[in-house]
Amino acid sequence: MLITDGSPLLRIGGSDNDRHDRMRRIGWIDMESVHSARILVAGAGALGNEAVKNLVLAGFRRIDVADMDDIVVSNLSRCLFFRDKDVKTVMKSDVVAERASELDPDATVTSMPGRIQDIKNWDYDIVLGCLDNISARMHLNSHSYFHRIPYIDGATDGFRGKVHVVLPGGPCLQCTMNRSHVREMERRFTCTGNSTTYVPRMAADITTTAVIAAMQVREALKIVSGREDMCLKHVAYYNGESCEMFTAEASVDPECANHLLREGE
- Exposed, middle or buried by CB within 10 Å (0-12, 13-18, 19+), for 38? middle
Q: How far is the CB of 170 from Zn ion (least distance, A)?
A: 9
Whether the link from the prior residue into 147 is cis, omega within 30° of 0, is no
User: If you compute the radius of gyration of the chain from its CA atoms, what whole number of angstroms results?
Assistant: 19
Q: Applying CB under 5 A, does 256 fall inside the site for Zn ion? A: yes
Residue among 229 and 255 whose Cβ is closer to Zn ion: 255
Q: How far is the CB of 173 from Zn ion (least distance, A)?
A: 7
Site string for Zn ion, 101-130 (x = CB under 5 A): ------------------------------
DSSP 8-state symbol, 231: S
Q: Which residue's Cβ lies closest to Zn ion?
A: 256
Residue among 26 and 260 whose Cβ is closer to Zn ion: 260
Q: How far is the CB of 141 from Zn ion (least distance, A)?
A: 8
Q: How far is the CB of 174 from Zn ion (least distance, A)?
A: 4
| Rounded Cα gap, residues 85 and 211, in angstroms | 27
179 three-class SS: helix
Site string for Zn ion, 157-196 (x = CB under 5 A): ---------------x-xx---------------------
Q: How far is the CB of 160 from Zn ion (least distance, A)?
A: 23
CB atoms within 10 A of CB 124: 22
**Please, which residues have CB within 8 angstroms of residue 65's CB and are 6 or more apart in sequence?**
41, 44, 48, 52, 93, 96, 97, 100, 109, 110, 111, 112
Binding Zn ion by CB under 5 A: which of 49, 111, 216, 258? 258
Residues within the interface to Zn ion (CB under 5 A): 172, 174-175, 256, 258
